[in-house]
Structure 1
Amino acid sequence: MPRSIPPPDWVISRRRQIGDQIRAARLHANLTQEAVANAIPMERPNYNRIEQGHASPTLDTLLLIADVIGVSVADLVR
């Protein structure tokens, strides 16, 4: 089985920035990680990994997160 190639450092950095923006929008909406994760639905630890920048959400997941928080996907990835 071939090894996967890790993403470049700038991708990891940008993923963390997006996670920070998701967290800020969630906090602004007065939502907990648990509330967002349950609404998606997703396990809270997996949602936490997105906010921490340790996991890359799919586009579908980003759309769901944005909808629950009440912002556009563009607001999360600016």
Structure 2
Amino acid sequence: MPRSVPPTDDVLARRRRVGDQIRAARLERNLTQERVALDSGMDRPSYNRIEQGHVSPLLDSLIRISDAIGVPLSQLVRE
């Protein structure tokens, strides 16, 4: 699929669900966005865009986020 093709509505909805799962895991552990962003090596606005589902994170970013929150990667991306 060419890079210029915009994501479908289904893909956008699933991206938002992943962001919701990341947020829920972070809040369960009483962590701030700032703390998770710093511990995962990104700035807070970039992390916020992932939580909001506005961007599609790289797998490397998801791995660092799961490590920073202290949950398995599978918990963040389950369907």
Give the TM-score band, short-chain normalised: over 0.9
- Contiguous gaps of at least 5 residues in structure 2: none
Q: Partner residue of 2:19? A: 19
* 2:32 counterpart residue number: 32
Q: Which runs of 5+ in 1 are unaligned?
A: none
User: Quick one: distance in 2 between partners of 1:3 and 1:29?
Assistant: 36
Q: Distance in 2 between matches of 1:58 and 1:24?
A: 20
| C-alpha distance after superposition, 1:23-68 (max 9, x if no partner) | 0000001100000011111110010000000011111100000011
Q: Which runs of 4+ in 1 moved over 3 A?
A: none
Distance 1:25 1:3 in 2: 31
Q: Distance in 2 between matches of 1:42 and 1:54?
A: 16
The alignment covers a number of residue pairs equal to 77
TM-score with structure 2 setting the length: 0.93
Q: 1:38 to 1:9 in 2, by over 3 A?
A: same
| CA RMSD after TM alignment | 1.4
Aligned to 2:6, the other structure's residue is in SS state: coil
